[in-house]
Amino acid sequence: MSSNGREVGLTIDGQSVRVPEGTLVVEAAKALGTHVPVYCYHPKMAPAGLCRICLVEIEKTPKLQIACATRVADGMVVHTASENVAAARRGVLEFLLLNHPLDCPICDKGGECDLQDYAMSYGPGASRYTDPKLHKPKRVDLGPTIVLDEERCILCRRCTRFDDEIAQERNLVVIDRGHRSLIGTRDGSPYASYFSGNTTEICPVGALTSKAYRFRARPWDLAHADSVCTQCSVGCNYRIDSRFGRIMRTYTRENQAIDDGWICDRGRYTFGYLYEPSRLRSPLIRRDGELREAAFDEAVAVAAERLAAAAAGKRVGVIGGGRLSDEEAFALQLFARRALGTNNIDYRAHAQRFASPARFGAKLADLDDASLVLMLGALGPEQAPILDLRIRRAVARGQATLVYVGPYRPELPVLARFFEHPSTAVAGLLDRLLDAVHHGGSESGEPFVDELAQLLADSERIVAIHDGCDPLAARALERLMETLRRYDHQVGILVIGSQGNARGAEAAGCVPNLLPGYAPIADADGMTTAEMLTAAADGKLEALLVVGANPALTFPDGALARAALANVAFLVVSDQLPTETVSHADVVFAAASFAEKRGHVTNLEGRRQAFAQSVEPPVRVLTDAQILSALAAAMNAPDGLIPSEPETLFSKLSVEVDLGRPDIELARPKISDIVEVDFGRPDIELARPKISDIVEVDLGRPDAGGLIVIPIPKLYAGGGAAAFDPGLRPMRPVPFALFHPDDARRLEISVGDRVSLEGRGGAIEVEARIAERAPSGAVLVVANLPEAPVNRLTDQSGLGTATVRKLPPDIVGDAP
């Protein structure tokens, strides 16, 4: 409830406090440090008043009142610890425990359970109830991540309200009534939200248990480390809990400005891969055509010798940085520029061309009071889930309109306006929009340009979000934003990174023509990833160092990437897992994960955050900083060029370049406060590839018999951690292609058919699906799946064409 800036004064347990009008009594008590027990109440959700444990006495009110749903009033006198209140709490607890099993010794929640704690603090000590307890199923498989113990549920409905109010998905519900009430899904389907893990955390008892953590540890056994999720570019804060040096679970660590206290399941559950046998645990050297285990010093010596020789001939390149920490990205560009003497360094191993908006950088929190969110091609739920939660909330509150402009209609849980538009022509659309905004209407004859221009004109606060893949569109967007700003709109831009630390890598100088802090290099001669891969494929590069990147799978021109990795004379790869890129390597370094090192990362809004080390890496696994430091030393680089300690690297980085305010910035600026990006002064025009790299594709007129291929992002796709993590396996998308019904009819394809899509770099086999939201003449294919790499079909534009062949049902096996 809005306070209108007015405050009221009240007394709680004899202490005076002034709080904004409309504050709930439970929150006013919290302001005084007075604890009122709650179960159903959660500060991020509307009061429900279900459990009654928060009963308090309010003078001049005849009955006890629930503190979670009663708002303060001037002069109110509240007692939270009177005998009446204590008696009421004893009654509520006795009632809740009537049928609750006494599972505490084996319950995952034991030790951090509100029912256990309050029963001890406020409970009656013994129950008067002697009849047998009601029994309910104790192992209900609720979905891919959660097991429900129905006996333990106290029906507080935090989980169902989370699914309704926060995730806006409305699938988790209370089924049946009275003592038969159960938690389940509306239609009996598995509870498969991207945010499901949050319900296990907010469940005040041990009813919802996470499959990843179930029966693995007790809370008092756990060591905690404050970390930052790097599975996408949002940078949610979380805590890593470990036991005996092994990660047991991750847990939210609220940072209101970034994650608002939630994390998505991709971030929460991606750690099991660290303990898989497939993880790289030792350096490898190719001998007799096979990658074989080697000592670290030997791998360093071999790699350093070949890299130095290639560097002497100026025939060396470095790809990577977006999966490293800020310190390591800084070290990587130092290694390229100072140890190898080349500007051939590029973090861009994906279709993304840049990760920092040149102007009008917005903050995530700007989405909270945006009146219009303009999504250009990027897909929040699949690429930045917690960012998407903010959009969902803003739309659900009715204050924001979500407009999606792209080549197809994604499935979104909240109301959105769609403007279907070929992805290669967004720049033109934005220019026509600019014209229409400027002249109060357009002569384009496109009704949706006028409609969209009107929406923009009517919106006070506009946040645009894109994926940084189309430099022309990005420039056109900046021009449009500039115009809107001149007409007094507040504007901001967010670019969703292709990798967790894409923006940090860009700011740290992992691009060929910019030094750390976006400082342009005069007469920049460095090659982009595309240019390095072309040179390698043509035999013009002698050595390539790939660090924390898998261009074989992620580079949009897969044919080029595979040719380059196969043809380059010497390939060194540092990674955690045996990716397709690793399979081409001559020397492999086993790299530490984020949980096994410390440092900083920069999220998509340019906020640099520190993360702590949680566990030790396996014995022969080193951090990328340590690997680069050893390589530099073996190449006789100047002493101390690359320190292996993150603290030394950080101070070097901070002295050499001002990457801006370190750590978490809690002040929430208004969009209009942000004039330029918040650190450095990026001149990313120079970092953008040549426009001629962009291949124009006309979605309206596909080749006869062929279809335009549009890769679509999926949260659990990817060739790294997501591919190897057993906990994510149930959520992995199967390789599928979505056809428009007209195309399916023409090609005689039915839902579930196996089809082969054949394109410029080979073929992939996928399952056919059919939906109106696929544009006619195009096919939507899941991106970044090693089982069916769509980049066999696409080129550097990120799009491709394919002919479709229906396979007989009995054909199985890998595509060529």
The beta strand positions in 422-489, using DSSP E, are 461-466
Residue number with CB closer to ligand SF4 (154 or 514): 154
CA max distance for the chain = 89
Contact 665, 392 (CB under 8 A): no
Residue number with CB closer to ligand SF4 (208 or 465): 208
Contact 349, 550 (CB under 8 A): yes
In the complex, minimum distance from the CB of residue 79 to ligand SF4, in angstroms, rounded to a whole number: 28
Is 231 an interacting residue with respect to ligand SF4 (CB under 6 A)?
A: yes
Residue number with CB closer to ligand SF4 (261 or 407): 261
Among 55, 222, 236, 677, binds ligand SF4 (CB under 6 A): 236
In the complex, minimum distance from the CB of residue 258 to ligand SF4, in angstroms, rounded to a whole number: 8
Among 208, 355, 358, 637, binds ligand SF4 (CB under 6 A): 208
Contact 53, 92 (CB under 8 A): yes
Question: How far is residue 556's CA from residue 559's CA, in Å, rounded to a whole number?
Answer: 9
In the complex, minimum distance from the CB of residue 508 to ligand SF4, in angstroms, rounded to a whole number: 19
Among 26, 183, 546, 747, binds ligand SF4 (CB under 6 A): 183
Stretch that binds ligand SF4, among 128-136, 230-238, 297-305, 543-551 (CB under 6 A): 230-238
Question: Angle, to 10 degrees, between the axis of helix 326-334 and the axis of helix 624-634?
Answer: 20
Residue number with CB closer to ligand SF4 (324 or 799): 324
In the complex, minimum distance from the CB of residue 17 to ligand SF4, in angstroms, rounded to a whole number: 30
Is 203 an interacting residue with respect to ligand SF4 (CB under 6 A)?
A: yes
Helix (H) or strand (E) holding 561: helix 558-567
Q: What amino acid is encoded at 469 in this protein?
A: C
Residue number with CB closer to ligand SF4 (232 or 781): 232
Tokens of 634: 């073996």
Non-local CB neighbours of 439 within 8 Å, separated by 6+ positions: none
Residue number with CB closer to ligand SF4 (231 or 644): 231
Residue number with CB closer to ligand SF4 (234 or 671): 234
Instruction: Tell me which residue of 200, 206, 192, 204 sits closest to 249, measured CA to CA.
Output: 200
Measured from the Cβ of residue 696, the count of other Cβ atoms closer than 10 Å reads: 9
Edge-to-edge strands of the sheet including 77-79? 15-20, 7-12, 77-79, 55-58, 65-66
Number of residues that bind ligand SF4 (CB under 6 A): 26
Residue number with CB closer to ligand SF4 (499 or 801): 499
Question: How far is residue 608's CA from residue 448's CA, in Å, rounded to a whole number?
Answer: 39
Among 264, 362, 514, 590, binds ligand SF4 (CB under 6 A): 264
In the complex, minimum distance from the CB of residue 320 to ligand SF4, in angstroms, rounded to a whole number: 20
Tokens of 559: 């044919």
Question: How far is residue 721's CA from residue 716's CA, in Å, rounded to a whole number?
Answer: 9
Is 503 an interacting residue with respect to ligand SF4 (CB under 6 A)?
A: no
Residues 315-374, interacting with ligand SF4 (CB under 6 A): none
Contact 337, 343 (CB under 8 A): yes
Residue number with CB closer to ligand SF4 (40 or 484): 40
Burial (Cβ within 10 Å: 0-12, 13-18, ≥19) of residue 748: exposed
Among 234, 757, 782, 785, binds ligand SF4 (CB under 6 A): 234
In the complex, minimum distance from the CB of residue 154 to ligand SF4, in angstroms, rounded to a whole number: 5
Measured from the Cβ of residue 271, the count of other Cβ atoms closer than 10 Å reads: 25
Stretch that binds ligand SF4, among 53-61, 150-158, 326-334, 750-758 (CB under 6 A): 150-158
Site map for ligand SF4, 43-82, x if CB under 6 A?
A: ----------------------------------------
Contact 64, 55 (CB under 8 A): yes
Q: What amino acid is encoded at 721 in this protein?
A: A
Is 205 an interacting residue with respect to ligand SF4 (CB under 6 A)?
A: yes
Contact 726, 272 (CB under 8 A): yes
Is 713 an interacting residue with respect to ligand SF4 (CB under 6 A)?
A: no
Is 229 an interacting residue with respect to ligand SF4 (CB under 6 A)?
A: yes
Residue nearest to ligand SF4 according to CB distances in the complex: 267
Contact 444, 432 (CB under 8 A): yes
Stretch that binds ligand SF4, among 234-242, 331-339, 374-382, 518-526 (CB under 6 A): 234-242
Stretch that binds ligand SF4, among 298-306, 384-392, 485-493, 609-617 (CB under 6 A): 384-392
Q: What amino acid is encoded at 476 in this protein?
A: A
Among 263, 373, 653, 710, binds ligand SF4 (CB under 6 A): 263
Stretch that binds ligand SF4, among 364-372, 382-390, 526-534, 667-675 (CB under 6 A): 382-390
**Look-up of token digits 């007094």:** 488
- The CB-based long-range contact list for 254-261 (8 Å cut-off, 24+ gap) reads 255/664, 256/365, 256/666, 257/363, 257/364, 257/365, 257/607, 257/664, 257/665, 257/666, 257/668, 258/234, 258/364, 258/386, 258/603, 258/607, 258/664, 259/234, 259/386, 260/44, 260/386, 260/389, 260/390, 261/44
Residue number with CB closer to ligand SF4 (509 or 713): 713
Residue number with CB closer to ligand SF4 (196 or 423): 196
User: DSSP for 139-201?
Assistant: -EE-SSSEEE-TTT-----HHHHIIIIIS----EEEES-GGG-EEEETTS-----TTTHHHHH
* Cross-strand bridge partners of residue 11: 16, 77
Is 142 an interacting residue with respect to ligand SF4 (CB under 6 A)?
A: no
Among 42, 100, 109, 157, binds ligand SF4 (CB under 6 A): 157
Is 156 an interacting residue with respect to ligand SF4 (CB under 6 A)?
A: yes
Is 267 an interacting residue with respect to ligand SF4 (CB under 6 A)?
A: yes
Among 29, 78, 146, 155, binds ligand SF4 (CB under 6 A): 155
In the complex, minimum distance from the CB of residue 27 to ligand SF4, in angstroms, rounded to a whole number: 20
Task: Name the residues that contact ligand SF4, by CB under 6 A.
Answer: 153-159, 183, 203, 205, 207-208, 229, 231-232, 234-236, 259, 263-264, 266-267, 384-386
